[in-house]
Amino acid sequence: MEEKLYYTNREMQAVSIARLISDGQIAVVGTGLPLIGASIAKKLLAPNCHLIVESGIMDCDPKEVPTSVADCRLMANGSVLWDQYRYFGFQTNSMRYSNIDLIAFIGGAQIDPYGNVNSTCIGDYEKPKTRFTGSGGANGIATFFNTVIMMQHEKRRFVEKVDYLTSPGWIDGPTGRKDKGLPPSKGPQAVVTDLGIMKFDDETKRMYVDQYFPGVTLEQIVENTGFDIDVSRAKEAEPPSVDMIEYIRTKVDPHKVFIKY
């Protein structure tokens, strides 16, 4: 039975992103849904969070939706415009700062059960079938920060093994990151898709279904996942509030750059 919802699937994803940001946290965002989600968080859920971007702009508060992370829309209202290398240093030092709590959002073309992400190519790296932009800031983010991964939920994207590992997740289990020399305590926290929210088991670091969006079935998630996924802990996600949807449509993306309805 199809129920008419008062929000779109992308709005549900944006709100899911917003809910994953806690007050006082630093959120590293890209353009598109992560920035929209983070803007909702900043206004309605976590007013003391800081939005930062990999181009080096701190405390982003754009008055119009930007299309790049170095958009003048971000520069005009940021607190500090770092040279880009300062952001590199901030990543590396974030493990040292005692007061830093940080969540970062990345996307990709493929993901495996341990949250390793490919945003480089499909097929052979040297002569690929399909080539994408490459890492962007995702590799650095995945190296040092807790991440939330944004992905369309399709079987060809949720794969046993990614064609190219651009951004490390938990590698192959609980000791994977330590074995590779990566900061062991940081890593993927959640995957937000058009169907729901996946998380990673504390013990095994393998992906499981945490929430499914209203109107989505667990069978749908299993069918669209290219590896075995545990659904035993899944619950239905809470729909967004009317206020949140109103805020997205009137304040965050009034020109429907990223959210169409």
Partner 1 sequence: MNKVISLKDAVSQLINDGDYLAFGGFTTNRKPYAVVHEMIRQGKKNLYVESGPAGGDMDMLIGVGACTAYINSYTANSGYSNVGRRFRKAIENGDMLFEDYSLDVQPILYHAGSLGLPYVPVKHMLGSDLADKWGISEEIRKQHDKLPNKKLIKSQNPFNPEETLCLVPTPDIDVAVIHVQKASTEGVIRIEGSTIIDVDIALSAKRCIVTCEELVEPEEMMQNSEMNQIPSFIVDAVVHVPYGAHPSQVYNYYDYDRAFLQLYDKVSKDDEAFHAFIKEWILDVPTHEAYIEKLGVNRLVALSVRKGLGYSVKEKS
Residues engaged in binding partner 1 (CB under 8 A): 31, 54-57, 63-64, 66-73, 75-77, 81-85, 87-89, 91-92, 120-121, 125-140, 142-144, 164-168, 171, 176-177, 180-183
Output the smallest distance, CB 165 to partner 1, in A: 5
DSSP 8-state assignment for residue 167: B
Give dist(CA 168, CA 21) in Å, integer.
Answer: 21
Tokens at 6, concatenated:
């008062």
Output the smallest distance, CB 113 to partner 1, in A: 16
Residue 215 CB neighbour total at 10 angstroms: 15
Residue among 11, 54, 203, 238 flagged as catalytic: 54
Nearer to partner 1, 163 or 210 (CB): 163
Residue 10's nearest CA partner among 235, 261, 255 is: 261
- Answer yes or no: are the C-beta atoms of 2 and 209 closer than 8 Å: no
Output the smallest distance, CB 121 to partner 1, in A: 8
Catalytic residue list contains 54:
yes
Output the smallest distance, CB 119 to partner 1, in A: 9
Q: What are phi and psi of 27, to 5 degrees?
A: -115, 120
Residue 159's nearest CA partner among 229, 230, 225, 231 is: 225
Nearer to partner 1, 69 or 103 (CB): 69
Give dist(CA 223, CA 249) in Å, integer.
Answer: 32
Helix (H, G, I), strand (E, B) or coil at 10: helix
Nearer to partner 1, 66 or 240 (CB): 66
Nearer to partner 1, 142 or 198 (CB): 142
Output the smallest distance, CB 93 to partner 1, in A: 11
Nearer to partner 1, 38 or 171 (CB): 171
How do strand 146-150 and strand 196-200 relate by DSSP bridges? Answer: unpaired
For the CA atoms of 25, 26, 31, 33, the dihedral, rounded to the nearest 10 degrees, stands at -10
Give dist(CA 147, CA 168) in Å, integer.
Answer: 10
Q: Which residues are catalytic?
A: 54
